[in-house]
Amino acid sequence: MSDVDCVVRSRDRLGESPLWAGAERALYWVDSRAPSIRRFDPATGATATRALSEVIGSIGLRSRGGLLLATQSGFHTLDRLEAGEPSALIDPERHLPENRFNDGRCDRRGRFWAGTMNDHRRDPTGSLYRLDPGGACTRIRDDIIVPNSLAWSPDDATMYFADTYREVILAYDFAADEGTISNPRVLVDRFGGGRPDGSTVDADGCLWNAEYGGARIVRYTPAGKVDRVIPMPVSQPTCCCFGGESLDVLYVTSATQRLTPERLAAEPLAGSVFALRPGVRGLPEPAYGG
């Protein structure tokens, strides 16, 4: 594998939420704006796409099989990618019709965390929610413009979170047993021309962030120092995750939205999925326990 390979050539409007399903040896992600869920089998090169009826922000694995979905209308489950309809769990923002869910991820206690955003204007009407395995949904914080970068340190002591349009990545103290956060502090507030989008954490405890508009992936130490910068062949990388049998492949999604015809012509791989071997390993993707 070369430094950065295009493994799924596509024109996703807003590729997001990549996750590695270890039991299937497959990569899942979403095209939020298509909207659809997509699956890539690296062994065969086959890609499957499941169309959806509404905007989707993120997905998570479920311990009983299938996927958890965070969409325009709240949380849903989907038993099979190939057939069946999503089953609604809860919509905590039914009273906010302009809002939708965006970035989301499972913690290692089987809880799914996801943030909402206003999908019509950049007003801070979003919130961060925690969905427990029993189905209880708790609002953790509010005043969010665009939620992103949810990830946890290997020891579960720290949770990372970014409000993209405030151009800051925060680190919180994380109480894993209780599922609570405290003591927010700035991890990163300077970027290379883009904004912080989706993230993942490697086994060494460093945070890998896709810099939307910055055409790069950046590895930050737990102290917030830039450790490594990987240029991307597209200007809008959106999120990343570790996968492969040894969790040593970094997969990166990307977007075409808001690119002019001239920019699209200059970026023939925009909206595709990329892979690279950065020389470190990731951590297994947790599953939602409900």
DSSP assignment of 131-198 equals E-TTS-EEEEEEEESSEEEEEE-TTSSEEEEEEGGGTEEEEEEEETTTTEEEEEEEEE---SSSEEEE
What's the CA gap between 63 and 49, in Å, rounded? Answer: 22
What's the CA gap between 157 and 198, in Å, rounded? Answer: 20
The tokens for 214 are 């910055």
Residues 6+ apart with CB under 8 A from 162: 147, 148, 149, 168, 169, 170, 196, 197, 199, 209
- Active-site residue list: 197
